[in-house]
Amino acid sequence: MKNILTVVFVLFSANAFADDITSFFGERLTGLELEMAGKGWKHIRTDIPNTKGSESMCFGGIHIIDKKSGLIVGEATDCLSNVQDNNGALQVFGTTFLDFFGADDVNTLVVQGDITVQPVTLPAKTAWGMKVTHITGSSNETGNNAVISGSGFFDGATGTGRISGMVDMSKVDDPKDPHIVFSCFLSITDLQLASWATQ
């Protein structure tokens, strides 16, 4: 039943979002406040920008929720590259593909930068009861947490990214169902769109 409700909600959200993407972003042209929530299924990619073709762990199918409207407006794929372990704390080079529903096609925004992944020091759960194993975060301190590309409505877009979140990484290497469950807030500030997208 839960899966059926999710599908219905996604379809409703997609239709609402697809009616007029320009209108949807009319009050959001300088920034986006999003949540990435849900399970991301693990797969390997070698085509991640700025990683010289090395293997990256990617987790796809994560819901994107617009924080203002509460609508599911797309799906995210989060990719982790150049993972470095520092006594249990991880430093990763993250690339997040944000695929927004559109009337005719998907509109993609790609954000990339350094991310800290730290094990929780106290037991933690999300508001809906998801067990949390790690806290994640990034900002623009290193100078490279930013929008690196876009397509469709976001072709030529620029902006600054900041992420703050909680994840359950207990099944990341599960042989039958490798995945991470996400509850992450993503803020895109200083968003600049091409002139045609704002007209």
- What domains does the chain contain, in order, with CATH numbers? 2-198 (2.40.480)
Report pLDDT for 4.
32
| pLDDT classification of 144: cutoffs 50, 70, 90 | low
Report pLDDT for 197.
57
Q: Is the pLDDT of residue 180 over 90?
A: yes
pTM: 0.84
Report pLDDT for 19.
47
Percent of the chain past pLDDT 90, that is, above it, reads 54
- Mean pLDDT over 57-84 rounds to 94
Higher-pLDDT residue of 88, 166? 166
- Mean pLDDT over 9-25 rounds to 46
Which 3-state string (H, E, C) describes the chain? Answer: CHHHHHHHHHHHHHHHHHCCHHHHCCCCCCEEEEEEEEEEEEEEECCCCCCCCCCEEEEEEEEEEECCCCCEEEEEEEEEEEEEEECCEEEEEEEEEEEECCCCCCEEEEEEEEEEEEEEEEEEECCCCCEEEEEEEECCCCCCCEEEEECHHHCCCEEEEEEEEEEECCCCCCCCCCEEEEEEEEEEEEEECCHHHHC
With contact defined as beta carbons under 8 Å apart, do 152 and 105 qualify? Answer: yes
